[in-house]
Amino acid sequence: MLSTKSVSGAHYRVGGLKGWEYGNDFQAWASSITFKQGDTLYFEYEANMHSVLEVSEEDYKTCNTRAPITSDGGKGRLVVTLREAGATFFYICGLPAHCSDGHMKVAIPLSLPPTITPSPSPSSTPHSSSSASPAAAAHVLLPLLLLLPPFLLLSL
């Protein structure tokens, strides 16, 4: 059943019960979840046995650990809040063999949120009225000029 979730995102332990471990099936784990903007990932593992690198898609595919976007330094716990809706985040273990042989790699695709259109009406109203005022003044002035000649004729 669908239910209205709270605005604060869901929390996920990467890899489920086994966590960030050699040989865990992270793709199966990730494919079972629809990740949303604001969700939080917890990478948990024995410190210094692994690490977590955020990498580019290319480095994810090739298990290249030499050019990470970020690295957690093998502290054993990394908390990541997913911010960019529609983006995909790529994480690999910093030990190349763990990535290539132990499948310690995971791609996290973020779904796009349902289109929420924030109503910008308070800010757009003064903008449109200020741009309309010169035109409005011209419209008032024109009939006034047309009315003047008959009035002048009558008074003469």
The whole-angstrom distance between residue 49's C-alpha and the CA centroid of its chain comes to 31
Span 47-86, contacts to Cu ion by CB under 5 A: 50
Residue 105, Cβ density class (10 Å: 0-12 exposed, 13-18 middle, ≥19 buried): buried
Q: Does residue 105 touch Cu ion according to CB under 5 A?
A: no
Q: Does residue 98 touch Cu ion according to CB under 5 A?
A: yes
Amino acid in the structure at residue 57: E
Tell me whether residue 104 or residue 106 sits nearer to Cu ion (CB atom).
104
Instruction: Please count the residues of this chain forming the interface with Cu ion, following the rule CB under 5 A.
Output: 5
Amino acid in the structure at residue 84: E
Shortest Cβ 7–Cu ion spacing (Å): 34
Span 7-46, contacts to Cu ion by CB under 5 A: none
Neighbours of 14 (CB within 10 A): 23
Percentages helix, strand, coil for the chain (3-state, rounded to 5) are 35, 20, 45
Of the listed pieces 25-33, 92-100, 113-121, 131-139, which binds Cu ion according to CB under 5 A? 92-100
Shortest Cβ 90–Cu ion spacing (Å): 15
Of the listed pieces 33-41, 53-61, 104-112, 130-138, which binds Cu ion according to CB under 5 A? 104-112
Q: Does residue 108 touch Cu ion according to CB under 5 A?
A: no
Q: Is the dihedral angle over the CA atoms 146, 148, 150, 153 positive or is it negative? A: negative
Residues that bind Cu ion (CB under 5 A): 50, 93, 95, 98, 104
